Amino acid sequence: MKYSELKQNLKEHKLRVTDCRMDVLEHFQQQKRALSFRDLEDRFQEYDRVTLYRTLHSFEENGLLHKIPGDSGSAVYGLCNSCGVESHHHNHMHFKCTSCGVTECIDTPINIPSVSLPKDYKMSDMDVIINGLCKLCNN
Amino acid sequence: MKYSELKQNLKEHKLRVTDCRMDVLEHFQQQKRALSFRDLEDRFQEYDRVTLYRTLHSFEENGLLHKIPGDSGSAVYGLCNSCGVESHHHNHMHFKCTSCGVTECIDTPINIPSVSLPKDYKMSDMDVIINGLCKLCNN
DNA sequence: GGTTAAATGCAACTTTCTTGCGGTAAGATA
DNA sequence: TATCTTACCGCAAGAAAGTTGCATTTAACC
């Protein structure tokens, strides 16, 4: 993705354009997978840990990234193609490879069934995490 | 649940019977909801933090509890009724209340649809986390 | 270019989780 | 029930993860 598009992307989310944010956003675009704070820390040693934390938080707060529930303890962030400004409450589907540990967004629109909850429960949205083997580890 | 039953439950999972384990297991039974390490730490100040960590880990390892993915960073553990010794690979469904934060297991057997994954991906199991209002907060 | 609010870097700190080890107690065996 | 073995416990220390405050720098706006 071109520099101008990244810049535009940040501005659309009301985020000030800085080196750190441009680099982090570009990295998410290129990697096409969910990244943890640790991933960013390893990749961008030129930026302070605190700055990376704050970058992730502001990205999340402004709807550019969303947090993916992970059982490993540390949070993982994903950049879904379907993550538009208005579509905050869509249902996320993610694939986590049990072999290599990579988490990816599943963009294939799948009609998630209307779950029959017990009486008086009200669903707002749901996270679906599919565990298994990704295309690389499955071959 | 009676003392003898708790004891039996531990033994069935090849776990040595100790005070800490009995108390923790009983607490899970009584609470009927998912508990975080923090919950246990607050509840059982008479036990060492490390002991509680190890208790959770051994319970998880031996299939008595399972880890529920949480986006808050800290892991949450649940004791499903359907968690038998043999049924390790069943699909979990959990409800997390966005108001009070309580996570519960949804025991209603719901047939989770066969998701159409991209080519070459292989699913083993899935975690489904439904967010919304629980019956207490919805009234 | 000058102004202002926001982002950054640094330091210090809190919280969360892990490891190692000596002492203790559960479970087995006789 | 006495003894033995091994797993569990508590304590201490430390590693990892995340937060806060503040002075400095810089993006965005005029």
Inter-CA distances, A66 with A20, A29, B7, B20, B70, Å:
18, 14, 43, 38, 13
User: What does the mean pLDDT of chain A come to?
Assistant: 86
How many angstroms separate the first and last alpha carbons of chain A? 29
Q: Specify the pLDDT at position A91.
A: 65
CA distance A129 to chain B (A): 5
Q: A127 at the B interface (CB within 8 A)?
A: yes
* Chain D nucleotides near the protein (CB, 7 A): 7-13, 17-21, 26-28
What's the rounded mean pLDDT across residues A111-128?
Answer: 80
Q: A100 at the B interface (CB within 8 A)?
A: no
Share of chain B above pLDDT 70, in %: 83
Q: B83 at the A interface (CB within 8 A)?
A: no
What's the rounded mean pLDDT across residues A98-103?
Answer: 90
pLDDT at residue A20 greater than cutoff 70: yes
- Helix, strand, coil percentages, rounded to 5, for chain A: 30, 20, 45
Q: Specify the pLDDT at position B117.
A: 84
Give A75's contacts in chain B (Cβ within 8 Å). Answer: 71, 73
Q: Specify the pLDDT at position B121.
A: 93
Are A41 and A52 a contacting pair, CB within 8 Å? yes
Q: Specify the pLDDT at position B88.
A: 43
Of residues A71 and A64, more confidence is placed in A64
Q: Specify the pLDDT at position A85.
A: 41
pLDDT at residue B125 greater than cutoff 60: yes
pLDDT at residue A41 greater than cutoff 60: yes
Where are the domains positioned within chain A? 3-132
Q: Specify the pLDDT at position A136.
A: 93
Q: Which CATH class is domain A3-132?
A: mainly alpha
Share of chain B above pLDDT 90, in %: 57
In this complex, the nucleotide whose C1' atom is nearest to the CA atom of residue B21 is D8
What are B51's two structure tokens? 């002991």
pLDDT at residue B116 greater than cutoff 80: no
Strands B76-78 and B103-105: unpaired
Share of chain A above pLDDT 70, in %: 83
Cross-chain residue pair A135–B118, CB shorter than 8 Å: yes
Under CATH, which architecture does the B3-111+123-132 domain have?
Answer: Orthogonal Bundle (1.10)
Give B65's pLDDT tier (boundaries 50, 70, 90). Answer: very high
What's the rounded mean pLDDT across residues B35-60?
Answer: 97
Query: B60-69 burial, b for 16+ CB within 10 Å, e for fewer?
Result: eeebbbbbbb
Give B85's pLDDT tier (boundaries 50, 70, 90). Answer: very low
Query: A50-63 burial, b for 16+ CB within 10 Å, e for fewer?
Result: ebbeebbebbeeeb
Give B69's pLDDT tier (boundaries 50, 70, 90). Answer: confident
pLDDT at residue B111 greater than cutoff 70: no
pLDDT at residue B80 greater than cutoff 70: no
pLDDT at residue A72 greater than cutoff 90: no
pLDDT at residue A28 greater than cutoff 90: yes
Q: Specify the pLDDT at position B37.
A: 96
Give A6's pLDDT tier (boundaries 50, 70, 90). Answer: very high
Cross-chain residue pair A131–B110, CB shorter than 8 Å: no
Cross-chain residue pair A110–B116, CB shorter than 8 Å: yes
pLDDT at residue B89 greater than cutoff 50: no
Q: Specify the pLDDT at position A73.
A: 65
* Distance, CA of B60 to C1' of C21, in Å: 25
Cross-chain residue pair A127–B75, CB shorter than 8 Å: no
The count of other CB atoms within 10 Å of the CB of residue B88 is 10
Containing B78, the helix (H) or strand (E) segment is: strand B76-78
| Contacts for B39 with CB less than 8 Å, ≥ 6 apart | none
